[in-house]
């Protein structure tokens, strides 16, 4: 378990008789880029909810970073542990500049006013600048965030999230609504992040998953149906039957 960022064993989430998760075993290594796929209602969102402590499992074992029991921590302490979650809709401040958004994400910031009045250090400024460079946004640092394209807004939020120095980043459908170029760039960004940060991606775009995944976990009816590389997963008869054959496209 020393290599694990997340270790879940026989996790059950029972909502008044409906098992959103029904005995899930899930292990993810540190520094891994993992894709989570499956039909609607498979339990993908619930799994992320369990990891970030939004939902308390009915039963099961949950470990973080090898030895930390996740069930010991309330939801408000999860971010301090290094677990971050990015939802499908970007959560940025559209009326602020790209740089001001990054200043808000600075770990030493505590609220909008203090963030905008705090004189960041040279080291902090260099770190924020490097993050924007990696996202291809440094040249737009003085632009209002609302004027960015949809993809650029997503990249800005990723940069803001990384400023918090997470150990695990969970991302929900990151390429929804993006152009082809933006989708490819997003895949490059997530691949570059993985290694220093563990990245768990929920995605329905199978072309995107095929291009950038190494390991894919398939959920169905609250259970892990299959796991492996994309080619193996996409050719599995049961996966084709319950998912790829009715919506997902390999």
- Residue 113: its pLDDT value, please? 52
Q: What are phi and psi of 53, to 5 degrees?
A: 75, 15
Specify whether the backbone of 97 is left (phi greater than 0), alpha (psi in -120 to 50) or beta: beta
Least confident of 113-127, 128-142, 200-214: 113-127
- Residue 3: its pLDDT value, please? 83
What kind and span of H or E run contains 61?
strand 59-64
pLDDT tens by residue, 158-171? 999 998 899 999 99
Cα-Cα-Cα-Cα dihedral sign, residues 105, 80, 86, 168? positive
Q: How far apart are CA 113 and CA 111, in angstroms?
A: 6
- Residue 47: its pLDDT value, please? 96
pLDDT-above-70 percentage for the chain: 92
Sheet holding 18-29, edge to edge: 18-29, 4-15, 59-64, 68-69
């Amino acid at each position: 378990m020393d290599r694990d960022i997340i270790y879940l064993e026989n996790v059950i989430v029972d909502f008044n008789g409906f098992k959103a998760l029904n005995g899930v075993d899930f292990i993810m290594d540190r520094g891994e880029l993992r894709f989570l796929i499956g039909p609607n209602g498979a339990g993908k969102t619930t799994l992320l909810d369990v990891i970030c402590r939004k939902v308390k499992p009915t039963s099961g074992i949950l470990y973080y970073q090898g030895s930390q029991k996740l069930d010991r921590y309330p939801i408000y302490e999860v971010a301090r542990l290094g677990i971050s979650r990015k939802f499908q809709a970007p959560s940025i401040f559209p009326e602020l500049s790209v740089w001001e958004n990054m200043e808000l994400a600075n770990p030493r910031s505590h609220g909008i006013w203090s963030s905008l009045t705090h004189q960041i250090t040279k080291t902090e400024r260099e770190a924020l600048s490097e993050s924007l460079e990696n996202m291809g946004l440094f040249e737009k640092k003085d632009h209002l965030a609302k004027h960015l394209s949809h993809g650029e807004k997503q990249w800005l939020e990723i940069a803001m999230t990384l400023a918090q120095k997470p150990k695990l980043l969970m991302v929900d459908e990151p390429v929804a609504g993006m152009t082809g170029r933006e989708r490819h760039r997003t895949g490059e960004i997530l691949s570059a992040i993985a290694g220093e940060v563990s990245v768990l991606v929920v995605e329905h775009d199978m072309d995107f998953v095929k291009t950038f995944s190494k390991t894919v976990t398939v959920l169905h009816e609250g259970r892990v149906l299959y796991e492996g590389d994309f080619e193996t997963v996409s050719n599995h008869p049961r996966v084709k039957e319950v998912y790829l054959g009715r919506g997902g496209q390999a």
